[in-house]
Amino acid sequence: MNPSDPAGPSSLTGRLTLQTPLGAVLSESRIRLLEAIDRCGSLNRAAREVPLSYKAAWEALDTMNRLAPEPLVERLTGGRGGGGTRLTGYARQLVRLHRAMESSQQDILDRIGPVPDDVDAPTLRGLIRRLGMRSSARNQFATRVTALSERGGLVDVRLQLGDAEAAASGPTLLATITPESAELLGLAPGREVWALVKAPAVRLVVRPARRPPPGRNQLAGRVVQLRPGATRTAVTLDLGGGEALHAAVPAQAATALQPGDAAWAVFDGDQVVLLTFG
């Protein structure tokens, strides 16, 4: 924002996080930790510089080493300096790649131009969608975490679709993940996340269960489109609140459906993939 114009527009900025199926490998704080290790030659001094506790820095470094295909640091022992820690050549290349990708991302945001400070949440979500997040998952929902609860050694994450004003009446999702994933993603009530659901994982029923089993989603909607294929029919449901859900169901199962019919989308919470940025 221009300091001389507090009511003026703000520039868009972004943070880059590299993810694997096991969680985040590189985030801004982890990149800064690696850069500090490269400068200081010591994990202890690097942790103070970031700043992080030594325990948090050690755990972050251990996680990165376990997820990376090659070691990121080398331990030095003895010598005049009393040992220490230094980055491997692979780690330096990884840091340079991350910073280059971050710079490219910011170039794209800069080309979009300033965004008024009073822009509403749905407009920003639409802008994010247009920036081109790509995934094989047909359903990509911008959501907000409303609650987390433990169930059988897993974590059920309750997610609100739509903006905050629709929270009382808008559709909700349930994602079931491991406690480790919940911690790696930094999930807490209020955290914004993307929820991805592949269309073939969704079943459609015309008579909903009175009490769905724990961990199962059952979302009410109305059929707005059917696109028959050789073996499957692509069905789009209007969930209300501006949200749509896509299912790819066996062709025979879709024969009883017509546009305008009420239907319920059924899928288990462990079919929902959560994605965070930064």
> From CA 69, how far away is CA 73, in angstroms rounded?
12
State the pLDDT at residue 22: 39
Summary mean pLDDT of the chain: 79
State the pLDDT at residue 184: 86
Judge whether 112 and 127 are in contact, CB under 8 Å: yes
State the pLDDT at residue 102: 72
Q: How large is the average pLDDT for residues 129-158? A: 81
pLDDT in tens, 78-133: 545 446 888 988 888 888 877 777 776 666 566 655 655 555 555 555 555 444 45
State the pLDDT at residue 89: 87
- Paired residues of 219 in beta bridges: 265
Question: In this model, does residue 25 exceed pLDDT 60?
Answer: no
Judge whether 264 and 221 are in contact, CB under 8 Å: yes
Question: Own/partner pairs for 80-88, CB < 8 Å, 24+ apart?
Answer: 81/41, 84/41, 84/42, 85/37, 85/41, 85/42, 85/43, 85/46, 86/37, 86/38, 86/41, 87/34, 87/37, 87/38
Question: In this model, does residue 10 exceed pLDDT 90?
Answer: no
- Over pLDDT 90: what percentage of the chain? 37
Q: Taking the CA of residue 7 as centre, how many other CA atoms within 13 Å lie in the half-sphere pointing to its CB?
A: 0
Per this entry, what is the length of the chain? 278
- Structure confidence at residue 168 as a pLDDT band (50, 70, 90): low
Task: Tell me which H or E stretch contains 143.
Answer: strand 139-151
pLDDT in tens, 196-222: 999 999 999 999 888 889 999 999 999
Burial class (CB in 10 A: 0-12, 13-18, 19+), 18: middle
State the pLDDT at residue 83: 60
pLDDT in tens, 227-269: 998 899 999 999 887 788 999 999 988 888 999 999 999 999 9
